[in-house]
Amino acid sequence: MSTSAKKNYPYIIALIALAEAMLFCGLAVGPYVWADEAYSLVMARHSFGEIVRITAADIHPPLYYFYLKAVTAPFGYSLFRAKLATILPCLFIAVFGSVSFRKAFGTTAGILFPLILFAFPSFLQYSLEIRMYTLCAAFVFGCAVYGYFFYSERNKKHLIMMSVFLVLSAYTHYYALLSCGIVFGIVFLLLLLKRDHDAVPVMAAGMIAAVLFLPWMPVLLRQMTSTEGTSWIGPITLGSIKGYIVSLFGIGGSKYSAVFFAAVHLAVFIMLFSGDRHDAVTGLCALRIPALTALTGVIVSLLLHPVFHIRYLTPCIPLICSFLTIALSKCRYRKAARIASAVIVLFGAAGYLNLWREEHAVRHDELDSAFVEKYRFCSCYVVETRNTHIPAVLEYYEQEKPVYWENEMGRANPYANRVSPTLFIPEENPSVVLFLNVGAEPSEDLRSLYRYDYIGTMHENSHSFDAYLLTLK
């Protein structure tokens, strides 16, 4: 890296961060939400006590919903502000990672990291989703970075920060907890192999973190014995693994782009061993964390019941980017490293343009705010399908209007307007929007009471269903 770049590094990284913030915000103006996002948005409107109660009956800890509420409530709840809450951890990772990599591996690594992070297709996609994955990524990445610095410098402040991120991850998502636990395990084993006495403080810090998690431990144990929250996860098969690879590396579900980007990773993996041995070991450690996280999830899924989905690996993506950054910044073959870096950045630009088109495209027959506004005169919605996405999205857009659907969420239900179909009274609902499986028609009971008009086949995310307008005879 030239002397000029080293001197102007603060301005360069500030410019990169500003550009990425603007690009992220350009994607955040999309008007569409899907079921899990609707759940997050509704949860943020509950009190902190209610969030604890509901999440204790669900499958995720409460910290993300605390964070989402804290970011959105002071300025008024809105879709854009909720997406900003997802973007903020991405910007933290980019800036914190850049500063940390510059300190550890030089200015080249400090500039490369935020560019590679932004270029990773699946991370770019999850940077917009109103869920906990980017916040988890910030915690896992922070834990790993401070783990590296503690191993290198033996500064107890770094060990304290490792523990803080471990506890935060534990109260946010259990796969993030697993990844941070693997970070602790790697640091502990490396110190133990060197017969270093600092292995003891690492063990002690992990035990203190475990004590701090004790208040939530009974909930975790109860959730581990239940399969309700993971029933949507399919079994691990060769087909699902191929799908996971495409989801992780591909642009817009393209198999060819996934194969290409995976091949670039393989080439960079080979480059890693052309540099310093210490740097190669560090890069491999960064790669081991997502590998062991995925391997643990797959093994549990095969032995017990399916609990792993590729989205649970999202918190580890900055560590994959760390491996790429170390390998490319320390590779002896500078020309090959520059070409690989340029290819990754261009690949990221293509991914951004594809995501921009998706977010700003006009989606016809979509279950969205436009559909709800068109049928606002209706008195209620009736959902006669097992598709859980329909009621979730409807209940977000229409928080005062009844949505008649079988409530299978029990105490984990955050929606105030979800009503059992047994309480549906036709005389009180002169006009109704009915949702059915594709190809199905209203029941004989409903047809005897209502005139029905076919609205069309609607879509929500990747799900399709038929909609009817019912008018009381």
Q: What Cα–Cα distance (Å) separates residue 418 from each residue in 44, 231, 403, 469?
A: 17, 21, 5, 19
Give the 3-state secondary structure of residue 469: strand
Q: Residue 251: left if φ>0, alpha if ψ -120 to 50, beta else—which one?
A: beta
pLDDT along the chain (473 residues), means of 10: 73 88 83 85 92 90 96 86 93 95 92 93 87 96 96 94 97 96 95 90 94 92 67 80 86 82 85 77 89 93 87 94 91 87 90 84 75 89 85 85 81 84 90 91 88 87 86 90
Q: CA nearest 236: which of 290, 296, 306?
A: 306
**Is 271 in contact with 336 (CB distance < 8 Å)?**
yes
pTM assigned to the model: 0.92
- Residue at token pair 């005879």: 473
Q: What is the pLDDT of residue 226?
A: 64
**Is 79 in contact with 5 (CB distance < 8 Å)?**
no
**Is 9 in contact with 111 (CB distance < 8 Å)?**
yes
Q: CA nearest 59: which of 312, 265, 271, 347?
A: 312
**Is 430 in contact with 407 (CB distance < 8 Å)?**
no
Residues 6+ apart with CB under 8 A from 80: 28, 29
3-state secondary structure 40-71: HHHHCCCCHHHHHHHHHHCCCCCHHHHHHHHH
Q: What is the pLDDT of residue 398?
A: 84
Label the pairing between strands 450-460 and 431-436: unpaired
Give me the residues paired with residue 382 across strands.
Answer: 404, 434
Give the 3-state secondary structure of residue 381: strand
For residue 135, the surrounding DSSP H or E stretch is helix 133-153
Q: Give the DSSP per-residue string, 235-295.
A: P--HHHHHHHHHHHH-STT-HHHHHHHHHHHHHHHHHHTTS-HHHHHHHHHHHHHHHHHHH
